[in-house]
Amino acid sequence: MDTARKAQDPTLVCTCSDLYVDQIQQAIEDGENEYNEIMQYNYTFPRCGECKEHIDELVKLSTG
């Protein structure tokens, strides 16, 4: 993960796949709630895995 790049944009969740909060939230709104499913929804796949915790937190916040 490119932590310097992520620090420049707080909406950037995954620097490997260029995934932003709004893309992840759209996947969640469309029923995806697993890390791998959210990646597939956005036409990518897990790479370094450092974003998993952040994505899991977004799912938790969205689904209550």
Residue extents of the structural domains in the chain: 3-63
pLDDT digits (tens, 9 = 90+) for 2-59: 888 888 999 999 999 999 999 999 999 999 999 999 999 999 999 999 999 999 999 9
Inter-CA distances, 12 with 33, 53, 64, Å: 19, 14, 22
Q: For the chain, report the end-to-end CA distance as a whole number of angstroms.
A: 28
Q: Determine contact, residues 30/5, Cβ cutoff 8 Å.
A: no
CATH class of 3-63: mainly alpha
Q: Model's pTM, two decimal places?
A: 0.90
Token pair for 26: 């759209």
The DSSP letter of residue 64 is: -
The answer to whether residue 64 scores a pLDDT higher than 80 is: no
Burial 22-32 (b: 16+ CB within 10 A, else e): ebbeebbeeeb
